[in-house]
Amino acid sequence: MSTLPLAQRRPARDNRRVAFATIVGTTIEWYDFFIYANAAGLVFAKLFFEPAGSDIGILISFASVGLSFLFRPLGAFLAGHFGDRIGRRAMLVITLIMMGAATTLIGVLPTYESAGIVAPILLLMLRILQGISAGGEWGGAVLMAVEHAPRSRRGLFGSFPQLGVPLGMLLASGVLALMSGVISPGQAFVEWGWRVPFLLSFVLIIVGYIVRRSVDESPVFEEIARKKKQTRVPIVELFKKHWLLVIIAALVFAGNNAAGYMTTGGYILNYSTNPKGLHMDRTEVLLAVTGSAVLWFIFTLVSGYLADWIGRKKTYLIGYSCLVVTVFPLFWMVNTGNIWSLFLGLAMFTVGLGLTYGPQAALYSELFPASIRFSGVAISYALGAILGGAFAPTIATALVQATGTTVSVSIYLLILALISMGAVLLIRERKGIDLSIDNQAEQEVGGLMLDQRRGVSTDDVVKTRA
């Protein structure tokens, strides 16, 4: 019998099918998520929160974007528990349906003008459902990709579900630009055009469901189930043994998430198109954001190759260094009011975004033991999203209103990027570690540089095998 890991015994076509399924599924999930964020920056303040006034209305609208992040940990806890108990694939299908249902229903909601206070309450309830879904989606998608992947290509395969974020952003901003500039320009977009991208989610969910049902369960979980080594309460085990690792892993993500939500969270859309701001053309800005999403996709994919070549940590440090040097030029170029300068600023910014997002799936998957891995990666991701992106657009709006300058926003992003760089330095590089349940003893120790328990380093493992 072959002693190769299960993932390496499967035909290459199976690995490609899994990669395609994770890209399609996460793209649809994040399309749903970003449609809301973009609409929050463009029309929700007027349609659902108008009685609060324009300034407070936009703050509440952006806060509703962040509200979903507060419920991501709940989704991560639930999906992590059942993902470690009953499997990765089942949770992926469930979260996809939840997200699609919530998004489609937003497309048929009444506005404040027609339903009063009921309208924003329903909107917030559906946004909470989106948050619960997103909290469970990511962990399952990355584990399906990484646990199926050949050991030497986990960085690349792990970057595939990460590509769903720029692709979802590309799809969301592209559909909104089409509705705003061609199909329902001007007042028609506010009256009904914004609803169409939400309603399209119903079709996309059917496609995603079919694709995700076509792939096999993660080979690591199949092995866990066959040997009956599921942990009874994975979350308790996770926080009992690895609470510090969860916190530091969350901080690794916080800087990227805050930076990403300057674009995906609708802040730059609102800031650049607001009549009290730069008052740029809405469709042109949407097209610029769409173009930057293409570059974000490219650098996320590049980071997957880099993570396998030079390691996860080095790729992260290069990426955060890029963010540090671009947080000020981004807003300098946006503030020119020129659409090409805005696009160039976003394009530079996406280099760091891609390099600090692509390696995350492989890094997180290699940090946590097999029996609690779904819980570990999902909860770390959800907490990092709260610390970073949850209220980044709201904080940025409040900072500009208080200081009158976007320099304060750049300083905010700089601080978070530096904190995340520090967290990366505290993580141990574990590229190539055996992810199977049979190697759980090694996986339990050594995830942190600060860990005093003497785990076996990846280099030592490689030398021993050689």
Is there a contact between 21 and 212 (Cβ–Cβ < 8 Å)?
A: yes
Is there a contact between 442 and 428 (Cβ–Cβ < 8 Å)?
A: no
Is there a contact between 206 and 68 (Cβ–Cβ < 8 Å)?
A: no
- Residues of the chain short of pLDDT 50, as ranges, are 1-9, 452-466
Tell me which residue of 147, 144, 139, 203 sits closest to 171, measured CA to CA: 203
Burial of 17 (0-12, 13-18, 19+ CB in 10 A): middle
- DSSP-based three-state secondary structure for 448: strand
Rg of the chain's alpha carbons, rounded to an integer?
A: 21
Which amino acid belongs to residue 418?
A: L
Q: What angle do CA 449, 452, 455 make, to 5 degrees?
A: 75
Tell me which residue of 132, 53, 19, 141 sits closest to 92, measured CA to CA: 141
Q: Which two tokens stand for residue 72?
A: 């991501």
* DSSP symbols for 209-278: HHHHHTSPPPHHHHHHHHTT---SSHHHHHHHHHHHHHHHHHHHHHHHHHHHTTTTTSHHHHHHH-TTTT
Burial of 193 (0-12, 13-18, 19+ CB in 10 A): buried
Check residue 13 and give its pLDDT: 57
E-strand stretches of 46-113: none
- DSSP-based three-state secondary structure for 161: helix
pTM of the model: 0.83
Q: Cα–Cα distance between 420 and 293 in angstroms, integer?
A: 23
Which amino acid belongs to residue 263?
A: T
Q: 448 has which bridge partners?
A: 427
Check residue 451 and give its pLDDT: 66
Q: Cα–Cα distance between 192 and 424 in angstroms, integer?
A: 45
Residue 445: phi and psi, rounded to 5, are -125, 155
* DSSP symbols for 288-301: HHHHHHHHHHHHHH
* DSSP symbols for 315-369: HHHHHHHHHHHHHHHHHHHHTT--HHHHHHHHHHHHHHHHHTTTTHHHHHHHHS-
Q: 427 has which bridge partners?
A: 448
Instruction: Show the domains of the chain with their CATH numbers.
Output: 12-460 (1.20.1250.20)
Check residue 243 and give its pLDDT: 93
End-to-end CA separation in angstroms for the chain: 20
Tell me which residue of 192, 178, 184 sits closest to 283, measured CA to CA: 178
Length of the chain, please? 466
